[in-house]
Structure 1
Amino acid sequence: MLDQTQLKHNAAQAAIQYIQPLLGPDVVLGVGTGSTVDLFIDALEAHKALFRGAASSSERSAVRLRARGITVFDLNEVSAMPVYVDGADEIDAQLNMIKGGGGALTREKIVASVAGQFVCIVDESKLVAGLGRFPLPVEVIPMAREAVARRLTELGGRPVLRDGFVTDNGCQILDVAGLRIPDPADLEARVNNIPGVVCCGLFALDGADVALISTQDGVRRIDRQPA
């Protein structure tokens, strides 16, 4: 029986195999944030001579990339990238996701928006029939925190401030439990339209293109189906 760390390691290795045909001397990769991505970064070190560098969704990942000898580019220096690799806190069979457990959700969405495809790497515990068991992170401008919390309560959620945490953007996170999410894209749009919300952790309007899900029986690949 593989433990969760071994499952994450297998997902990271599968991502390395997936991106290898996309590497080249001018290629900049998009790299996300989280424990599975940490393992991906570690594995990426052996291939660093095959690509130009990476654009990161967080300071945490940028530090790890630099420590592995991988050049980190500001996203403003990057006009295109073939692939963005990141994890998820939850993902469903349609490749909608909840992300932001590490607090990097806004930068994750921004970096992912520049990439040709989003590859999500997770262990099997993150695959769910329906999103919402994991509280939805919502990044908010500090002065709007209570106003946003009231609106999220009206949507049926129970928002709680992530105490003592400040995002790389200088904002705060409300973790919202109790939401029903039958239509992830609709809820994403509604939450993002609340004044004071920087970004919410639903990735459904632009979900993953490919999921590499590490299981006890190997890595399972799911591709997003055309709408």
Structure 2
Amino acid sequence: MDLKKLAGEQAANMVESGMKVGLGTGSTAYWAVMRLGERMREGLDIVGVPTSEATKQLAIKLGIPLAELSTLEPLDLTIDGADEINPDLNLIKGGGGALFREKMVAAASRKLIVVADESKVVERLGAFTVPVEVVPYGWESTAKRVAAAGCVPKLRLVKAAAGNADTGAGAPGAESAFVTDNGNYILDCDFGLIEDPERLEAQINAILGVVETGLFIGMAELAVIAAQSGVRTLTR
């Protein structure tokens, strides 16, 4: 049983014709978007706002009409995944690097529905590192300021193709900085288990050079959680 598929599809079935829908990013949100494409072929009528370039391309392939966030907000709902979910439905997101656009779209939505398998539900956030999007200019200095907040930040890297002139990589397997859809870098920050997620989010966002954090506090209203025993919903 594919739990991610089960959760994503169940959330997609909550969407009604006429809705303006935020389309999330990640391996579970993927299945929600796939199901919405299927429902479009069955007669569902929606307009979507993608949270990443990858989701945008998927939606276009599936025939889901898209529009800019500014022309559609407020959205009726957004369906998106999470890397961790605590009992208050506070989240860590951004494992895929789309956290800024995900938060922009979620903030412009009347409801955020989170989709995940049961492994993402935790008592306290922090076992998963907190992604922090930072501007490339002076990122090392920004990383020092983030570290002073109590973490060990690591620049997210990706393996580059051989001979990539943009990254300077000249050999297979060479690594370069991961670049977000917004042209920024990601610091993956290990704070350990987090005592006060709301305070930490505000503290990091106040640091010069930080664009946004992967802490989503008080944004999700509903979580669709899939387990081998079935699907359950959590509400805030």
Q: Distance in 2 between matches of 1:59 and 1:165?
A: 15
User: Residue 154 of structure 1: CA displacement?
Assistant: 1.5
* Percentage of identical aligned residues: 41
Greater mean alpha carbon deviation, residues 27-36 or residues 48-57: 48-57
Query: Is the partner of 2:219 in helix, strand or coil?
Result: coil
Q: Name the larger-Rg structure.
A: 2
Q: Which residue is equivalent to 1:8?
A: 4
| In 2: Cα distance, 1:222 partner to 1:52 partner | 25
Which runs of 4 or more aligned residues in structure 1 lie more than 4 Å from their structure 2 counterparts after TM superposition?
none
| Equivalent position of 1:24 in the other structure | 17
- Take 1:191 and 1:12, find their aligned partners in 2: how far apart are those partners? 31
TM-aligned CA deviation for residue 76 of structure 1? 1.9
1:120 positional shift: 0.1
Does residue 34 of the first structure (1) align with residue 47 of the second (2)? no
Q: 2:119 aligns with which of 104, 118, 125?
A: 125
CA apart distance, 1:16 = 2.0
> 1:117-196 to 2 correspondence within 5 Å?
117-163=111-157, 164-196=177-209
Q: Name the SS of the counterpart of 1:38 in structure 2.
A: helix
Provide the secondary structure at the position in 1 that maps to 2:88. Answer: coil
Unaligned stretches of 5+ residues in structure 2: 158-176
Please state how far the C-alpha of 1:207 moved relative to its aligned partner: 2.6
Query: Partners of 1:194 and 1:66 in 2: how far apart?
Result: 37
Q: How many residues align?
A: 215
Per residue, is there more helix in 1 or in 2?
Answer: 1
Report the Cα distance in structure 1 between the residues aligned to 2:34 and 2:233, rounded to whole angstroms: 22
**Distance across 2 between alignment mates of 1:220 and 1:24:** 24
Aligned Cα root-mean-square deviation (Å): 1.2
Amino acid at match of 1:121: V
Tell me the CA shift for residue 201 of structure 1: 0.3
Native 8 Å contact 1:91 1:97 kept in 2? yes
TM-fit CA distance, 1:79: 2.5
The CA deviation string for residues 176-222 of structure 1, in whole angstroms up to 9 with x for no partner, is 12434111111001101101100000001x33110011011111111
Match of residue 215 from structure 2: 202
Aligned counterpart in structure 1 of residue 65 of structure 2, from 71, 94, 97: 71
